Structure 1
Amino acid sequence: MEPIVLYKVCKSFDEKTVLQELSMNIPQGETTALMASSGQGKTTLLRILMGLEQVDSGYISGMEGLQKSAVFQEDRLCENLNPIANIRLTNPSLSYIQILEAMHEMKLFDCEHQAAAELSGGMRRRVAILRALLAEWDILFLDEPFKGLDAETKRQVMAVTCRLCRERTVLLVTHDLSEAKAMAASGLISW
């Protein structure tokens, strides 16, 4: 597979430059960690790659025809829907049992009938991660996906996530090198 290539990508918002001539090659079929200081454009870069923002200049190749899935910094769940319905939004072909088994892997027990608004922050986070993982995707964008999880839950969730992402293209934005290692990131790009 050809890499995803970014060449001299620039992006500004209201006269503030967020990305300045950023160039990189992102291998497909692997997990790549993206690290930079706060405010240096990591989320903006993901939004550009997802097609939610346009570059001001430069170009990107290798994204053509790829199905995308994402875990944003916010959970973005439908508050009135239960976890099963939230997960099915991205993949309606999943059976109730398939989703329930995946929820149990993520240590989500006895909450399948609760509205998302009633779930704890950590439970909401795990539902958001599962929703992205169980979608049909060629490339997965993870924008600080494990924030807000306690250490043990985070370890379990990273193990499940890593297993479900094996040999697939994943871009992980993190400030924590241990997360990149736990996710078996084969590459680290920082700026």
Structure 2
Amino acid sequence: MPSFDERKDMSKDAILEMERTTMSTAEGLQLFNINKRFISDWSSLVNKITSGRVRDRSINALSNVFLTIEMGQCFGLLGHNGAGKTTLINILCGVYTPSTGSCFLLGNSLTSATGIDRIQKLIGLCPQHDVLFPDLTALEHLELFADIKGIPVKERRSTINQRLKEVELYDVRKKKATAFSGGMRRRLSLAIACIGNPKVLILDEPTTGLDPINKRKVWDLINKMKRERIIILATHSMSEVEYLSDRIGIMTGGRINCLGSAKSLKTRYGDGHNISITTHSVDAANKIDELMVSYDMSILSRNGTMLKFKVNSERRLGDFMGDVEEGNISGIKNWSLMNSSLEDVFIKISKNPFLEENDLNEISIEDSIRLIKGELKDLKSDIAKLNQGSVEMQESKESHLDHFDSFAKDIEHHNDNDELRQLIIRQSEKIKDLEDKINALNFQHPQ
């Protein structure tokens, strides 16, 4: 179990999931306090040891991960690049072993030699990129993987035909993969993942690059598949994870910090309802701005005749809508009502994973700018300390500093709050990427 100090770094949702996991008796998948630490550069470490100056060059890819997924559930896994999703998937597949902690699937331990053999037979993986052989037919692909999975010869034909029919490829089973469209190749990858009737199906970006029609076909197929197994869905598509998942986990910094259904996450961490109004004139906008206080709405942003308000009372929202329909409010050209999206929640959590749900709505533009400027200052300091001996590092240093100076000017000259929010969101992602690059350069060229 995590120590007292470690629990201080865990979110409220993570602690609740820890309690749920330790008390769970349900059949399925349980992760108990999974931690994964990597040594970043072995040659660098050896050099430090031999010179008598040893520095800790390890990276905590996963920290205190507790998770329970029951049979028949689809669990959506969200997180920006570097959040720990791939490391977690690799541990579940047996590619990595956890540094500490334990994992059980249907009673089999991932950390025991006999358990990992059994678990690997119970898991099917559909990777992000199709791993297909262009000169093999769909039928030959499934025959190959049926042999690898050890399916008895007597059962192979019926099993293969069943999988081909499930993904609607039976009629083209003798066509080579090179002749398949992107949607057909993706469905073939799903069929391969399901060979051997795995109890856990891990899907990594299952609909990347698909058109809306083929995407919906894959979604319907995934919904059918989860009835008899556990599905773990790793994706960057908010609509996909919201449509398919019973529960969603948002990963940041190697931790699953937020868990719940899409509706629960939006209710707890979102902004609720927002109203956007466009008026006929600036004078009308001024009057609307003053009037909306009486409907218990708070101004979020304004740009000329365009205003955006946060709805604080559902009852007063109904009063406002009634007055608009009856023509009691003048000066409105058009208006629209919007709900918080899962994407809004994901961006907030990714930007500051340790804020509690009630605090997330209180982040002002000014606070966001201050946080970003603080991160820029720290990163500029890190870059300034980089070894000057490498041409690669010097070029990287100069490009990063130019980028920071450009962004600093951008945020000073933005008056529109919505545009500024989007700029800050994009910059937060860039800062994360730059942090990773700086760490990589430091590991390759230690001081």
1:12 corresponds, among 38, 54, 57, to 38
- Residue 196 of structure 2 is aligned with which of 135, 138, 143? 135
1:168 and 2:229 are equivalent in the alignment: yes
SS of the aligned residue for 1:10 comes to strand
Superposed CA offset, 1:57-112 (max 9, x none): 222221324311010012112332111121233335243643442242xxx47532
Structure 1 outlier segments of 4+, above 6 Å? none
For these two proteins, the number of residue pairs brought into alignment is: 186
Cα distance in structure 1, aligned partners of 2:82 and 2:226: 27
Residues 102-159 of structure 1, C-alpha deviations (whole Å, 9 max, x = no match):
242xxx4753222223323332111101211343211111111111111111011110
Does 2:136 align with 1:113?
A: no
Query: Percent of counterpart pairs with the same letter?
Result: 26
Provide closer, same or farther for how the CA distance between residues 62 and 81 of structure 1 changes in structure 2, counting only shifts above 3 A.
Answer: same
For 1:58, the equivalent position in structure 2 comes to: 100
User: For the structure 1 residues 181 and 111, does the alpha-carbon distance in structure 2 shift closer, same or farther, using more than 3 Å as the test?
Assistant: same
> Which AA in structure 2 matches 1:40?
A
**2:78 alignment counterpart:** 35
**SS in structure 2 of the partner of residue 53 of structure 1:** coil
Amino acid at match of 2:165: E
1:44 to 64, 87, 101: 87
For 1:28, the aligned partner's letter is E
Listed one character per residue, the Cα deviations across residues 23-61 of structure 1 (whole Å, up to 9, x for unaligned) are 121223121111111122212211111001223x22222
Give, in whole Å, the separation in 2 of the partners of 1:156 and 1:13.
Answer: 42
Q: In structure 1, how many angstroms separate the alpha carbons of the residues matched to 2:189 and 2:29?
A: 27
Q: Distance in 2 between matches of 1:140 and 1:34?
A: 13
Task: Tell which has more relative contact order, 1 or 2 (C-alpha 8 A, sep 6+).
Answer: 1
Q: Which amino acid aligns with 2:166?
A: A
Q: Which amino acid aligns with 1:24?
A: F
Supply the distance in 1 between the matched residues of 2:59 and 2:211 (Cα, whole angstroms): 35
Say which is worse superposed, 129-138 or 84-93, in terms of deviation. Answer: 84-93
Matched, 1:87 2:105: no
What corresponds to 2:246 in structure 1?
186
Q: Paired residue for 2:206?
A: 145
Gap runs ≥5 in structure 1: none
Higher deviation after alignment, 116-125 or 28-37: 116-125
SS in 2 for 1:27: strand
Q: Distance in 1 between matches of 2:67 and 2:137?
A: 39
More helix by share: 2
**Partners of 1:157 and 1:172 in 2: how far apart?**
12
Q: Which has the higher strand share?
A: 1
Q: Distance in 2 between matches of 1:120 and 1:167?
A: 29
Alpha-carbon distance change, 12 to 115 in structure 1, aligned in 2, over 3 angstroms: same
> 8 Å contact 2:198–2:229 — kept in the other structure?
no
Maintained 8 Å contact 1:10/1:22: no
Q: Counterpart in 1 of 2:430?
A: none
- 2:206 partner letter: P
Pair 146,22 (structure 1): closer, same or farther in 2 beyond 3 Å = farther
> Per the alignment, do residues 5 and 81 of structure 1 end up closer, same or farther by CA in structure 2, a change over 3 Å counting?
same
Q: TM-score, normalised by structure 1?
A: 0.84
TM-score (norm 2): 0.38
Is the radius of gyration larger for structure 1 or structure 2?
Answer: 2
Answer with 72-81 or 4-13: which moved more: 4-13
Report the RMSD for the aligned CA atoms in angstroms. Answer: 2.3
